[in-house]
């Protein structure tokens, strides 16, 4: 890779402290939509346990009138292959369960679900929709234990758009509980690293000691596909929010740079 930008890293006292932080970022982006602007800002959400508390809080923000859901357009990163929005276990199902106003946004056409069947034409059309919406202003991201982001597993290219991919066994094992008594799917549709890096601002959250090794490799290892999250170091506007456990493998210099 040509250059290595330094993401801003913040180590929070606890994972819960990320919630007001994320809401504030989201509000700022939503409010940046000027009267008469061509596009409402597009915000792309991530799924996973990392964001459960955030989505509950987002639900309350919208239901209690503190955030206008018509002030932004939403989308997300990835979907299990063939999982329509209503199907339990799927990513959109998870999002709408935790934050029901997103369901209304889908109905109004202001939330763009990832095409779950992975047909090439539908994926290119999805990318065009994102482009027509003015691109992604804010991308939220989690990280897998193996350094994956969205479903870009180790070995992923930095130069791919939305595509169908095979899930790593550790990813399937981590997803097991959402599919019992069935087995987790083997394939998914995901935003590629090129799609993710196209966002104006990226906020990655990682909490817990299970993520410590992936976080250290992302921030301090080689920048290559072995750790897909390391691609974020080629982007100029990335914020990484960690709790102390997720930051525990960072070496002393990086930990000293981090703002507690």
Tell me which residues are annotated as active site: 78, 146, 148, 153
**Cβ neighbours of 169 (radius 10 Å):** 12
193 upstream amide cis, omega within 30 of 0: no
For the bound state, the minimum distance from the C-beta of residue 36 to ligand GLP, rounded and expressed in Å, comes to 35
Q: What is the three-class DSSP state of 206?
A: strand
For the bound state, the minimum distance from the C-beta of residue 31 to ligand GLP, rounded and expressed in Å, comes to 26
Instruction: Specify the DSSP class assigned to residue 209.
Output: G
For the bound state, the minimum distance from the C-beta of residue 188 to ligand GLP, rounded and expressed in Å, comes to 7
For the bound state, the minimum distance from the C-beta of residue 149 to ligand GLP, rounded and expressed in Å, comes to 6
Instruction: Specify the DSSP class assigned to residue 33.
Output: -
Asked if 162 and 123 touch (Cβ cutoff 8 Å), the reply is yes
Q: Which residues of 12-30 are buried (b: 16+ CB within 10 A; e: fewer)?
A: beebeebbebbbebbbebb
Rounded CA-CA distance 49/42 in Å is 23
For the bound state, the minimum distance from the C-beta of residue 165 to ligand GLP, rounded and expressed in Å, comes to 10
Interface residues with ligand GLP (CB under 6 A) are: 46-50, 77-78, 142-144, 150-151, 171
- Burial classification of residue 66, based on how many CB atoms lie within 10 Å of its CB (0-12 exposed, 13-18 middle, 19 or more buried): exposed
Contacts of 134 (CB under 8 A, 6+ apart): 38, 39, 41, 42
């Amino acid at each position: 890779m040509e250059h290595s930008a330094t993401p801003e890293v913040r180590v929070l006292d606890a994972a819960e402290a990320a919630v007001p932080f994320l809401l504030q970022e989201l509000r700022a982006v939503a409010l940046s939509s000027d009267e008469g602007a061509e596009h409402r800002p597009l915000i792309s959400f991530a799924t996973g346990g990392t964001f459960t508390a955030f989505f509950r809080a987002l639900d309350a923000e919208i239901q209690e009138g503190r955030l206008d859901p018509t002030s932004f357009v939403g989308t997300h990163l990835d979907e299990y292959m063939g999982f329509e929005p209503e199907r339990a276990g799927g990513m959109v199902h998870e999002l709408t369960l935790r934050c029901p106003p997103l369901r209304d946004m889908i109905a109004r056409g202001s939330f763009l679900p990832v095409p779950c069947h992975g047909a090439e034409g539908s994926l290119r059309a999805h990318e065009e929709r994102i482009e027509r919406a003015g691109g992604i202003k804010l991308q939220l991201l989690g990280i897998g234990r193996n350094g994956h982001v969205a479903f870009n597993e180790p070995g992923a290219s930095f130069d791919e758009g939305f595509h169908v991919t095979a899930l790593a066994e550790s990813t399937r094992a981590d997803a097991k509980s959402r599919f019992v008594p069935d087995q987790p799917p083997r394939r998914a549709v995901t935003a590629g690293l090129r799609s993710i890096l196209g966002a104006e601002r990226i906020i990655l959250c990682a909490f817990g000691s299970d993520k410590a090794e992936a976080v250290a490799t992302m921030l301090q290892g080689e920048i290559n596909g072995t750790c897909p999250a390391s691609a974020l170091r080629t982007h100029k506007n990335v914020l990484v929010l960690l709790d102390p456990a997720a930051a525990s493998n960072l070496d002393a210099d990086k930990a000293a740079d981090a703002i507690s």
